[in-house]
Structure 1
């Protein structure tokens, strides 16, 4: 019942945003010489935008009859722009898709199943492992081709560790080691680390315990014991109280400004994020950094390879065969990937990854080596998130703010989060 309510709510939302609902255009046949216009949309920063435009121009040069119109924006703005197109069933032919939205858009029958385009002159999966393909599968259908893979990771400057008389994290370091580092920093004016996004890192902690944030049916939480919540967020609250992780006012107001971010001023030991963020982090930092796994124990159970993002095809596209060919070019062409430099994640094509190695910058070599390590020390990622994940995450982030400000206990937050999250997922909470 909850799933049907959720889907209805999303359709209503999208329809309200656009004010009208159009009909999908029928796919028309065309000859190879016919001029074709494709539309593509993505979100990203300056480097991604310029690199993607470069790939588009390269494809157009090789396919003179194809013209590709493109648009890009920041992450939040992207989804706001996409909603009216989704409601009107006039999505771009090719759209960048995040794993958190894949369930939502596919459940509304807006995305094309890409399975028929494999091995048929469209998308060549020869050098793409099934594990890399499976991230875009839902109910046996392939709704997205992963552009690259990432993994949660720890970033640090060895010189900052040395200056504080602390050994950098070893490959097998643990949460207990993190606490020990924090004890050594008390009173020194140096932070232990940056902001840990609650939904990402709590999910990692749950995986280490053999649990997950969401249940398999998507209608509840994937952990029975609230002790797991209080253990994890109790640690975060203690670290904030001891001024060992960023105070909320720093990351709420100044975290996007490198001049105000303690990590970029050498005033924090650790930064956390997905591995594809490592290169831009090094560029902002201005000096070499190192990359390490997340804390253990049970890293192999907690770690996973995550599709950085997908390219999906709109079901309403009139030029699906040509769209599939562009997707293949983006994923499998070595020259195209030289431009992209793995910014969307380490390439999923093993052939492309191997042929790129001689051309990679040192920071990207670190990322590739790290992903190779994670591949050998990880478990399959959790199933795609429920449609209403964004609402659950919003509640979790609000509670996290209160926890770090010391305005709620971990026990009270755990109970409130369970009540609200289950209500949202079952369609009973506004």
Structure 2
């Protein structure tokens, strides 16, 4: 591990059963330490980490809470690297939902914590875990600023025609029911990188950013500002995802409740955890085995792949309406960066209508961060440029947190 030559930021992303962490230089993005604690509160809980590019290490932490995981980070992992521990000057937290409260990164205080609690119904799987992470991190690192960066913040520039639902106004004005979006940190980073690739000022670029992973969303970004996005009130809406159904007729809820006597909570469980790629393929929520099944001609995997790409292609084409013209389409996230089949199928669906063409040989070689530098996949004849750009939400969070360091 290289000894830090400047100040670093600890970036934390807490899930309901996991704690992802990284210590990085917000200037050049160098990652000194990265890791994850998984299976929180269970007997099989463990933590794994890597210093720089060294081999990964792992330790069991049975029944550990989020606080226990961060305590292990400080007292065990960083104990033998006091220079790295001492270099941390801020902590940045990824928060999925900030409602209409926040459009910018914000310094944590009691009011911020209370507002994150208020919007838990909009992100019931995420925000409670984020609060656990904030509380644990403030206890482990009490003398540095803690900054929250909201996935919803980037989408606060959407106009009412994009974020309002056609339901009685009081549900919006009194209860905040509207489209909020997610993955905003990633969409912002990708739109900024795309402007660099295009060699155009950010204010003059129109791009469609596709963050495709276990959770997936698309955003229309005009002049660096989001004007529409696929996720809605919660991260359930929009694309087909790993275990989430995406956009669906609301009457399906009524039907399941009436016909099968299911409770609303049971329907919520099905839509969030038992649907999507998992339900369609019958084998996994992970796109990798689905790709293998697709290549072998498995009918269920083929349906899962084609539905994923079809829904994505429809959203991409629909965003020509708010954008007018499109300079580039960007693929990112675990699927967007590594599943060349999904990129190929999606772009093929858009070829006739939008004139999109990609270099298939280059597309097959473009896998994540493995030596792929310039990012462009499109051919010279393509009417719209297509890029694969690895996202870097951690770097955005680190830089956001660093702004609060005095």
Structure (1 or 2) with the larger CA radius of gyration:
1
Higher relative contact order (CA 8 A, sep 6+): 1
* TM-score with structure 1 setting the length: 0.27
Higher fraction of strand: 2
Higher fraction of helix: 1
